[in-house]
A and B are shown apart, each in its own frame.
Chain A
Amino acid sequence: MDWQGQKLAEQLMQILLLIAAVVAFVVGYTTASFRTMMLIYAGGVGVTTLITVPNWPFFNRHPLKWLDPSEAEKHPKPEVAVSSKKKSSKK
């Protein structure tokens, strides 16, 4: 997942769980059935899990641009100087 995808996944999870809870409570209250409320909420948690937890492609619409390997070879990493002289040379 990319950064945008992670933010989307978190927001989706929170919104979907809250909606599941509200719907479950309202339906349970109007039918006077505690069991119905619990079943609807459990279903909502299951659906939310399926939507937000696996790494779906639509979470990766802004992929990170990693540096191409061939480009990286042209710019070698600077070598760390391992010298016994303790003079500090500030550049």
Chain B
Amino acid sequence: MHSFGYRANSLLTFAVTILAFMCAIVSFSFSNQTPSAQIQILNINWFQKQPHGNDEVSLTLNITADLQSLFTWNTKQVFAFVAAEYKTSKNSLNQVSLWDAIIPEKEHAKFWIQISNKYRFIDQGYNLRRKDFNLTLHWHVMPKTGKMFADKIVMSGYSLPDAYR
């Protein structure tokens, strides 16, 4: 402790080290997670083969979800998205993202929304006629400090019609 600069440096280093420990402890905050979701396809707006040869379908979705139990004091935001998942002869798994949202606060995490798909549902090829697919709600819980966790709910039983409309 010989001089002003020495003491200032020592204090700053110790303060930042303690801050690192505090953030490490905070990052271990977990909540009892019980999320729920339901997705309903209200309407198939149109279903066509594009000029390049790929199938495209436009859906109107009704999405209901309650992700409030995922939030802790260490949560910055939850990123949620809905993906259509199906199998083709070319790919064992196709995942097409149809809609996403950023949920910044717990109050906004219980919601009901009816929209047409935010992103286009285009296949790699023309395999969508009479295709069975799952709609999966994925979420990423983004913390203020620490590790990000991701999980999902798979809802199956959806299918597309036999012919183009």
Contacts and interface: CB of A to CB of B under 8 A. Distances in A.
Interface of A: 1, 5-7, 9-10, 13-14, 17-18, 21, 24-25, 28-29, 32-34, 37, 41, 45, 48-49, 52-55
B74 interface: yes
Given A17-B15, A49-B8, A54-B4, A41 B22 contact: yes
Given A41-B19, A45-B15, A29 B73 contact: yes
B154 interface: no
A56 to B, nearest CB: 11
B14 interface: yes
Contacts of A21: 18-19, 21-22
B73 A28 contact: yes
10 contacts: A5-B1, A6-B2, A25-B22, A25-B26, A28-B73, A29-B73, A37-B22, A41-B22, A53-B4, A54-B4
A29 B25 CA distance: 11
A25 B4 CA distance: 29
A54 B4 CA distance: 6
A24 B15 CA distance: 13
B138 to A, nearest CB: 25
A33 B11 contact: no
B118 interface: no
